Chains A and B, each alone.
Chain A
Amino acid sequence: MKPAEFYQRDHDRHPAAYTPGYKTSVARSPRLALISLQQSASEITGPVFGHDDLGELDHDLIRNYASDGDPIGERIILHGRVLDENARPVPNTLLEVWQANSGGRYRHRNDTYLAPVDPNFGGCGRTMTDAQGYYFFRTVKPGAYPWRNNVNSWRPAHIHVSVFGTSFSQRLITQLYFEGDPMIPLCPIVQTIADPDAIDQLTAKLDMNATIPLDSVAYRFDIVLRGRRSTLFENRLEGN
């Protein structure tokens, strides 16, 4: 059996493009339907990265921008596996994360929130999954921050996650939230997702077994990418 197309994306689990509660989506959403493609080589291939692309501290946000000490904030480990919908690990795939500091301030020239930047915190990291699809980062837990949607809109604490998989059709950017955060149900961006179970899938769980005593609290966040069909009878994908 030869692997063929990736399973069709289930758009009922994803947010729609037009979600007026999240105001920016109103003018940034197509009005016409997406055109569905049967996949070709252009969709089932995607960029390949190697460990040579990364630096030694890229996965350690506590140390990768520190100049004269550690960043201020709750020390956490973020770890999990990248799997496909068939529950197979996705090995050697690139994960990138970015986040605000513990006060909810981003190190970005366009962020003008009054909470200060942390001189020892950059807020980005990247790593590759291992042969079992496993990954981990070390960071500080980000703070909530206000944003101009409604006048009193606040984002729950979150970490942005970007993942590649093995094909351009698996490319995904999402956000992870933290178990128990009372701002999750209030957030217009979270609520672009209609299915409560899908929101729960974005909520990292406190993981006491992975917590390092007297050092860092751990959160577990598994990521699922689209699975791939096995071709049982024929493979006309590449012109046979």
Chain B
Amino acid sequence: MGQSLEYLKETPSQTAGPYVHIGLAPGAAGFDIYDQELGKDIIGPHAKGERIRVEGLVIDGTGNPIKDVMLETWQANADGNYAHPESGPVEDGFRGWGRIITDFKTGEWGFDTIKPGAVMGRDGRMMAPHISLWIVARGINIGLNTRLYFDDETEANAADPVLNLIEWENRRPTLVAKRTERDGRPVYRFDIRIQGEDETVFFDI
């Protein structure tokens, strides 16, 4: 008999269900219970960098917006550092993580943050500025990972090692948010299509 390898197995995923807000954003569920809900302030008061807003919809395979979705965001600061012991340093109060709830009537979501800096990738290759997103909802059995890039970073995007990993070049634009302005403020539009035409690229990270 050979040697056996003893590893535990990762706990299987299950859908977050329709009432994910109770646990993770009780205010959205309709009641206040915690002194502070987590994930509302992504960057803190001292963050350097350009203030931006990011907005979008998550659209299902029938073309309808998903109205009970929860997104989490993870990003570096303007210097390309993450608020984590294996990265950093970052400004005081910069967490880099956010939790975003869609509007129950329209499915629109949005968050305020700063535009992240480029992050060092593998093998010394710089990654273009990006925000990692994680999407859970009723009907989604395991959270979907994707990345949001910025359409005004043409040169950096063209050299980005992750975007270049996508062999179908016509799928790369599904990860690029479009810059507009509202009241003089930059707003990036990022609609996520779960299924069908122009399906957003999702990653196994």
Which residues of A are interface residues toward B (Cβ below 8 A)?
7, 9-11, 13-17, 19, 22-32, 34-49, 53, 55, 58, 64-65, 83-87, 94, 96-98, 106-111, 122-126, 160, 162, 166, 168-169, 171-175, 189-190, 192-193, 195, 198-199, 201-202, 223-227, 236-240
- List chain A residues, Cβ under 8 A from B8: 83-87, 224, 227
Complex CA gap A190/B17 in Å reads 12
Chain B contacts to A: CB under 8 angstroms: 6-24, 26, 29-31, 33-36, 38, 60-62, 66, 68, 72, 74, 76, 82-87, 95-97, 104, 119-125, 127, 130, 132, 134, 136-145, 147, 162, 165-166, 194-196, 199-205
17 A–B contact pairs at CB < 8 A? A28-B138, A28-B139, A29-B139, A30-B200, A35-B166, A42-B127, A45-B74, A45-B86, A107-B22, A107-B30, A109-B104, A160-B16, A160-B19, A166-B84, A173-B16, A174-B14, A239-B123
Chain B residues with Cβ under 8 A from A190's Cβ?
14
- State A202–B14 Cα separation when bound (angstroms): 9
Cβ contacts under 8 Å, B125 to chain A = 239
Nearest B residue (CB) for A194: B12
A168–B75 Cα gap in the complex (Å)?
10
In the docked arrangement, what's the CA distance between A22 and B18, Å? 13
Contacts of A48 in B (CB 8 A): 83-85, 95
Q: Give the chain A neighbours of B62 by CB distance below 8 A.
A: 27
Q: CB < 8 Å: which of B34, B120, B204 contacts A41? A: B120
Residues A192 and B141 in contact in the complex (CB < 8 Å), given A41-B119, A122-B26, A198-B12? yes
In the complex, residue of chain B having the shortest beta-carbon distance to the beta carbon of A53: B38
A152 to B199, alpha carbons, bound, how many Å?
33
How many angstroms from the CA of A109 to the CA of B68 in the assembled complex? Answer: 12
CB <8 Å contact, A30 and B194: yes
A195–B10 Cα gap in the complex (Å)?
Answer: 13
Query: What is the bound-complex CA distance between A19 and B22, given in angstroms?
Result: 25
With both beta carbons as reference points, the residue of chain B lying nearest to A31 in the complex is identified as B195
- Give CA–CA (A180, B92) in the complex, Å: 49
A19 & B122 in contact (Cβ 8 Å cutoff): no
Shortest CB-to-CB span from A48 to chain B, Å, is 6
Task: Assess A239 versus B33: contact at CB under 8 Å? Given A27-B62, A123-B22, A124-B26.
Answer: no
Closest residue of chain A to B39, judged by CB?
Answer: A47
* Across-interface contacts of B18 in A (CB, < 8 A): 108, 110
B18 nearest CB neighbor, chain A only: A110
Given A29-B195, A31-B195, A87-B8, 8 more contacts at CB 8 Å? A23-B139, A28-B60, A36-B204, A42-B132, A47-B84, A48-B95, A227-B8, A239-B121
Which residue of the partner chain, among A43, A201, A236, contacts B123 with CB atoms under 8 Å? Answer: A236
Contact with A42, one of B24, B130, B140, B142 (Cβ below 8 angstroms)? B130
Cβ contact within 8 Å between A28 and B61:
yes
Q: Find out whether the CB atom of B7 lies under 8 angstroms from the CB atom of A227.
A: yes
Roughly how many angstroms separate A11 CA and B95 CA in the complex, as a whole number? Answer: 30
| Chain B min CB distance to A15 (Å) | 4
For the complex, what is the distance from the CA of A25 to the CA of B29, rounded to whole Å?
22
Least Cβ distance of B87 to chain A in Å?
5
Please determine whether B9 and A224 come into contact, CB atoms closer than 8 angstroms.
Answer: yes
Given A28-B139, A34-B204, A169-B205, A53-B36 contact (CB < 8 Å) = yes
Taking a contact as CB atoms closer than 8 A, the residue among A31, A42, A111, A238 that contacts B199 in the complex is A31
Partner pick for A97 among B23, B96, B127, B145, CB 8 A cutoff: B23
**Which chain B residue shows the least CB distance to A236?**
B123
What are the residues of chain A within 8 A of B121 when measuring CB–CB?
A: 40-41, 239
What distance in Å separates the Cβ of A190 from its nearest Cβ neighbour in chain B?
8
For the complex formed, measure the closest distance between the CB of B50 and the CB atoms of chain A, giving whole angstroms: 19
Given contacts A28-B140, A28-B195, A107-B29, contact A171 B204 (CB under 8 A): no
Residue of A whose beta carbon sits closest to that of B81: A41
A172 vs B35: C-alpha distance when bound (angstroms): 24
For the complex, what is the distance from the CA of A160 to the CA of B137, rounded to whole Å?
12
Given contacts A30-B202, A37-B205, A110-B18, contact A172 B11 (CB under 8 A): yes
In the complex, are the beta carbons of A25 and B11 less than 8 A apart?
no
Given A28-B66, A85-B9: A45 and B19 within 8 A (CB)?
A: no
